[in-house]
Amino acid sequence: MGTRNSLQLARRMAALEPSATLAMAARAQALAASGVDVIDLSVGEPDFPTPPHICAAAEAAIRAGKTKYTPAAGIPDLRKAVAADYTRRSGLTVTPAQVVVSNGAKHSLHNAFMALLDEGDEVVVPAPYWVSYAELIKLSGAKPVLIPTRIEDDFKLRPEALAAALTPRTRMLLLCSPSNPTGVVYAPDELAALADVAIEADLAVIADEIYDQLVFDGRQSPSFPTLRPGLADRTVVVAGVSKTYSMTGWRIGWTICPEPLSKAIGNLQSQETSNPCSVSQHAALAALTGPQECVADMRRAFEKRRDLVASRLAAIPGVRLPEIGGAFYAFFDIKAALARGTNGITTSAAWCESLLEKEHVALVAGSAFGAEGHVRMSFAAAEEKLTAGLDRIARFLGA
């Protein structure tokens, strides 16, 4: 008889945290189901319905019997459409073989980490970072090296800070622009400066570009590999349809990377999950090849909401936030409120708990994103909801 319980969890589970964003959304939903008037600004999920032409393509796919296994890396037409869309928008030619379609971009990230990282490898992740990065990196056996950034730098990683974080074990740099959780968009020269350090140190780069079409004020968000010659040989671009086309539940994301790695990721996926949902793939194909007005319409709506949220938050005494150039998040500093310690509240998690309890507004604590002293608000919600939520937040902060 061993000392190990039959269902004792594997060591890799010991440090695994559940997704804080999804956990808060579940709590808010449960509270709403019990009859409480909750304003849920926790999860980052567009509130728009999936555009009708995309849903119609999925219905047609079901009727046409496209309900069987597909090639594990995705149907050829979708891989072709992803490659064509990326080539058109970035100016960098990629082939369908460089694309693997997965069960959402979260799965794409997991695939990339599993395919590239060995036990003990280090991955530089600028903090604040999206909740799942650190956990997915740890699952692969590698170590996330979290580098704090400053609100004064708009939470952008500076090349000196990246260089200072490098060790002989550093294998990878992870970048997300437009950023979840801060909404900050790096300028091309800022990304190029980071690229120079990555090239010099021979790092792989994961460029999470899932919000690349959600940029405001006429900004462009250039794809990372376009910034320096040769960068495409060391970069995995991760993106998908969840945010751009309001398709979070369909679970379609992808990696774009050099062919040998793409093949390895396809092999991994063929053992892990087989293909992503066949019907969802047809929906994603319609999203990429159909009319694109829906993308511009949603972008305009998010930009208007950004104006509302940024101006209202900035007007609250003691609240600080960076310039929100894209995505749909406001990540604001509440250190002044925490320093007052009202009702014994001194952490962002306790502050969010109390806000939910007293004002019925759900936000996510900055600690979940590696930046204590801040909270994240998603503005992927209707303006009336945002206004009511902001009124409650302002009241809670005594403004």
- The only residue of 170, 180, 182, 281 in contact with ligand GLU, by rule CB under 6 A: 180
246 binds ligand GLU (CB under 6 A): no
240 binds ligand PMP (CB under 6 A): yes
* Number of residues this chain uses to bind ligand PMP (CB under 6 A): 13
Distance CA(347)–CA(355), nearest Å, equals: 12
29 binds ligand GLU (CB under 6 A): no
Distance CA(173)–CA(261), nearest Å, equals: 17
- The only residue of 25, 54, 105, 371 in contact with ligand PMP, by rule CB under 6 A: 105
Shortest separation between residue 272's beta carbon and ligand PMP, angstroms: 15
Shortest separation between residue 183's beta carbon and ligand PMP, angstroms: 11
Q: Give the contact letters, 150-189, x = binds to ligand PMP (CB under 6 A), - = no.
A: --------------------------x---x---------
Shortest separation between residue 212's beta carbon and ligand GLU, angstroms: 15
Distance CA(240)–CA(256), nearest Å, equals: 11
310 binds ligand GLU (CB under 6 A): no
- How far CA 269 is from CA of 76, 79, 128, 272, 396, in Å, comes to 16, 15, 29, 5, 47
User: What residues does 215 pair with on adjacent strands?
Assistant: 326
Residues 63-102 that bind ligand GLU (CB under 6 A): none
Shortest separation between residue 142's beta carbon and ligand PMP, angstroms: 18
Distance CA(123)–CA(227), nearest Å, equals: 21
Contacts of 164 (CB under 8 A, 6+ apart): none
| Nearest Cα residue to 227 out of 262, 179, 194 | 194
Stretch that binds ligand PMP, among 29-37, 100-108, 198-206, 365-373 (CB under 6 A): 100-108
Distance CA(175)–CA(17), nearest Å, equals: 21
Shortest separation between residue 350's beta carbon and ligand PMP, angstroms: 25
- Compute the half-sphere exposure of residue 58: CA atoms within 13 Å on the CB side of its CA: 18
Binding site for ligand GLU (CB under 6 A): 19, 21-22, 43-45, 106, 130-132, 180
